[in-house]
């Protein structure tokens, strides 16, 4: 937790990922549609996948991931639009159920296709954050923006073979074959974690319970049980430190273009350190996520930051509990 691994050709991928986010958001700023930036930001998460793989493999993987993220944004936008006529409780229930379903399905697909990073953090975040946000566009517009942003990421990935990311010597093993029982286990673990995290956070009445769903699926993405528990603890510690950074950045009035600069800088730093120390990376990931939400939908800063800490703790504890329960079940079975 306190050690930072040495760098491993991180600079070029970090620059590419930062550009993948910067260009769509700047375009929306210049066209006076910054309220759509959330859709573009989630589409831009496509660029995170496939690091250290050859260009053709990375592009192929990002096409799949881009399609999933775009669909998640569209689903979230549809829920947000329909929720205009729903009670708040109905909206919360549907959002939690959608987040749990997306977590289960996408985590299983990502495991089967052997995509990295593993897990369902980005797909759950895209679905639930958009579903919880005020309606600013139709689902079709949201799909178009997220899809265009993902396409930009894929284009950059293709072009990056000439900027130091060809990775021609990298070995790409064939995706492993998983038995049906392992797929069912992955589906159920992610679905249960996201469902419990979102449900508990909703019952507490804290704003934005989707943060808890995102945090609940984080521990499950690590490869071993001990690492999964550590990942949950990293999430709590890194989030608290990152909220402090976000509090500073949001402590003075800022224009949208200034927030965009910070978002891009935080994305760059997050990619620079995410494979070296997860807690340190969260110091940048947390303000990145908070600034993304604030940029699209400004809201009281104190409530935003307090909810992020409380729900991260709830979700991380739920995720760790699911890990420990899985260990107990496996031991009893054996």
Residue 109 included in any domain: yes
**Taking 80 as the threshold, does the pLDDT of residue 102 lie above it?**
yes
- Average pLDDT (227-249) is 93
pTM: 0.95
CA dist 153 and 23 (Å) reads 10
pLDDT at 314: 95
Of the chain, the percentage scoring pLDDT greater than 70 comes to 97
* Residues composing the chain: 334
Q: Is residue 42 part of a domain?
A: yes
- Biggest CA–CA distance in the chain, Å, is 60
Q: How many domains does the chain have?
A: 1
Residue 258 lies in a domain: yes
Give CA–CA dist 22/35, Å, rounded.
15
Average pLDDT estimate for 231-238: 92
Please check whether residue 1 lies inside any domain of the structure: no
pLDDT at 1 over 90: no
6 is a domain residue: no
Question: 285 in a domain, yes or no?
Answer: yes
Q: How many whole angstroms separate alpha carbon 283 and alpha carbon 239?
A: 6
Q: What is the pLDDT of residue 263?
A: 97
- Look up residue 153 and give its two tokens: 């990421």
- Identify the pLDDT of residue 7: 63
**Is residue 2 over pLDDT 60?**
no
pLDDT at 172: 77
Quick: pLDDT tens for 127-163.
999 999 999 999 999 999 999 999 999 999 999 999 9
The candidate with the shortest Cα–Cα distance to 128, out of 88, 162, 92, is: 92
Alpha carbon of 102 to those of 1, 191, 254, 270: distances in Å? 30, 8, 34, 24
The rounded mean pLDDT for the chain is 92
Predicted local distance difference test score (pLDDT) of residue 5: 61
Q: What is the reported pLDDT for 4?
A: 65
Share of the chain above pLDDT 90, in %: 77
Q: What is the Cα–Cα distance from 9 to 40, expressed in whole angstroms?
A: 27
3-state DSSP assignment of residue 254:
coil
Q: What's the mean pLDDT in 220-244?
A: 90
Predicted confidence at residue 174, as pLDDT, reads 79
pLDDT higher than threshold 90 for residue 243: yes
* Whether the predicted pLDDT of 208 surpasses 90: no
- Does any domain span residue 262? yes
- pLDDT at position 326 is 84
HSE at residue 285, side-chain half, CA atoms within 13 A, is 26
Residues 248-274 have pLDDT tens digits of: 999 988 899 999 999 999 999 999 998
> Which burial class, exposed, middle or buried, applies to 81 when counting CB atoms under 10 A from its CB (0-12, 13-18, 19+)?
middle
pLDDT tens figures, 10-33: 899 999 999 999 999 999 999 999
CB 55 within 8 A of CB 158: yes
Give residue 211's domain range: 11-333
At 164 the pLDDT is: 87
C-alpha atoms less than 13 angstroms from C-alpha of 19 in its C-beta half-sphere: 15
In a domain, 68, yes or no: yes
| Mean pLDDT, rounded, for 40-59 | 95
The position carrying tokens 């730093």 is 269
What is the mean predicted confidence (pLDDT) over 278-293? 93
Euclidean distance between CA atoms 244 and 285, whole angstroms: 12
């Amino acid at each position: 937790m306190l050690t930072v691994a040495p760098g491993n050709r991180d600079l070029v991928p970090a620059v590419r990922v930062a550009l993948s986010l910067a260009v769509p958001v700047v375009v929306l700023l210049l066209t006076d549609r910054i309220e759509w930036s959330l859709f573009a930001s989630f589409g831009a998460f496509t660029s995170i996948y496939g690091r250290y793989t050859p260009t053709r493999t990375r592009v192929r993987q990002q096409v799949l991931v881009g399609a999933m993220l775009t669909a998640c944004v569209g689903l979230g936008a549809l829920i947000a639009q329909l929720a205009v006529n729903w009670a708040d409780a109905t909206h919360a229930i549907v959002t939690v159920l959608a987040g749990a379903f997306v977590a289960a399905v996408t985590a299983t697909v990502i495991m089967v296709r052997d995509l990295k990073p593993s897990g369902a953090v980005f797909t759950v975040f895209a679905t639930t954050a958009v579903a919880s946000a005020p309606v600013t566009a139709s689902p079709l517009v949201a799909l178009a923006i997220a899809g265009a942003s993902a396409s930009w990421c894929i284009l950059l990935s293709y072009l990056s073979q000439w900027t130091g990311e060809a990775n021609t010597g990298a070995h790409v093993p064939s995706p492993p074959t998983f038995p049906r029982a392992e797929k069912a286990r992955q589906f159920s673990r992610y679905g249960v974690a996201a469902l419990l995290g979102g449900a508990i956070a909703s019952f507490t009445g804290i704003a934005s319970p989707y943060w808890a769903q995102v945090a609940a699926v984080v521990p499950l993405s690590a490869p071993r049980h001990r690492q999964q528990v550590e990942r949950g603890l990293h999430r709590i510690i890194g989030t608290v430190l990152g909220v402090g950074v976000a509090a500073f950045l949001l402590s003075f009035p800022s224009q949208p273009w200034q927030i965009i600069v910070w978002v891009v800088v935080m994305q760059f730093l997050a990619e620079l350190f995410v494979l070296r120390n997860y807690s340190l990376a969260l110091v940048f990931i947390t303000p990145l996520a908070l600034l993304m939400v604030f940029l699209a939908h400004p809201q009281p800063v104190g409530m935003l930051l307090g909810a992020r800490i409380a729900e991260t703790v709830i979700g991380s504890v739920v995720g760790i509990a699911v890990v420990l329960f899985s260990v107990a079940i496996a031991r009893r079975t054996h």
